């Protein structure tokens, strides 16, 4: 298991079982000292069980970012009830590390297998990670990201794309 994924798994287990937030142990591995947006995804029997993240870094380093997002994915994803202790053995984790988002001019600059998308309309922002099962077209990708943020298809939108490094 990749160290970023191991950190997410251990963070969730410690929080669910002990009610404690994982402490960061220094010195950190080089990859954990960087700042980057991250998403922590949890699956149970192949089905999404939680996914929360940040597209801009919000913490002092990637380790702190993963700890915050892991707890949120397990306990604050509004689509799911909080993870319980009896589920822990059935969970699978992945961590996506995001590149900085770049504004694009057109849908033609997207590819749902390569790029994630951020759809912005006013203060509303919807994000969808790349390379997700069942998301095969740019229209699917934009529609799902828009719906997550309450953005309607006839609203004026700005599009941003980003790449991820996905660790399992």
Range of the domain at 130: 102-163
Query: Are 111 and 72 contained in the same domain?
Result: no
Is it the case that residue 31 has pLDDT exceeding 90? no
Tell me the pLDDT tens digit for each residue of 44-68. 999 999 999 999 999 999 999 999 9
Residues 6+ apart with CB under 8 A from 6: none
Q: In which element (H, E) is residue 91 found?
A: strand 91-98
pTM (2 decimals)? 0.94
Query: Are 154 and 86 contained in the same domain?
Result: no
Query: Are 81 and 107 contained in the same domain?
Result: no
Is it the case that residue 138 has pLDDT exceeding 90? yes
Query: Are 34 and 111 contained in the same domain?
Result: no
Query: Are 7 and 90 contained in the same domain?
Result: yes
pLDDT tier at 153 (50, 70, 90 boundaries)?
Answer: confident
Contact 71, 21 (CB under 8 A): yes
Tell me the pLDDT tens digit for each residue of 143-152. 999 999 999 9
Query: Are 124 and 144 contained in the same domain?
Result: yes
Predicted confidence at residue 56, as pLDDT, reads 92
Q: In which element (H, E) is residue 52 found?
A: strand 47-53
Tell me the pLDDT tens digit for each residue of 83-134. 999 999 999 999 999 999 999 999 999 999 999 999 999 999 999 999 999 9
Is it the case that residue 25 has pLDDT exceeding 90? no
Domain count, the chain: 2
């Amino acid at each position: 298991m990749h160290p970023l994924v191991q950190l997410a798994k251990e963070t969730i287990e410690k929080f669910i079982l002990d009610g404690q937030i994982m402490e960061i142990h220094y010195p950190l591995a080089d990859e954990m000292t960087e700042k980057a947006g991250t998403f922590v995804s949890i699956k149970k029997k192949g089905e999404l069980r939680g996914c929360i993240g940040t597209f801009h870094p919000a913490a002092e380093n990637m380790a702190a970012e993963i700890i915050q997002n892991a707890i949120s994915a397990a306990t604050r994803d509004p689509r799911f009830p909080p993870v319980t202790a009896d589920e822990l053995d059935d969970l699978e984790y992945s961590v996506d590390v995001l590149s900085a988002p770049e504004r694009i001019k057109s849908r033609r600059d997207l590819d749902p297998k390569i790029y994630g998308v951020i759809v912005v309309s006013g203060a509303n922002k919807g994000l969808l990670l790349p390379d997700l099962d069942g998301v095969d077209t740019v229209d699917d990708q934009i529609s799902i990201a828009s719906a997550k943020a309450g953005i309607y298809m006839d609203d004026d939108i700005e599009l941003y794309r980003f790449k991820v490094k996905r660790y399992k």
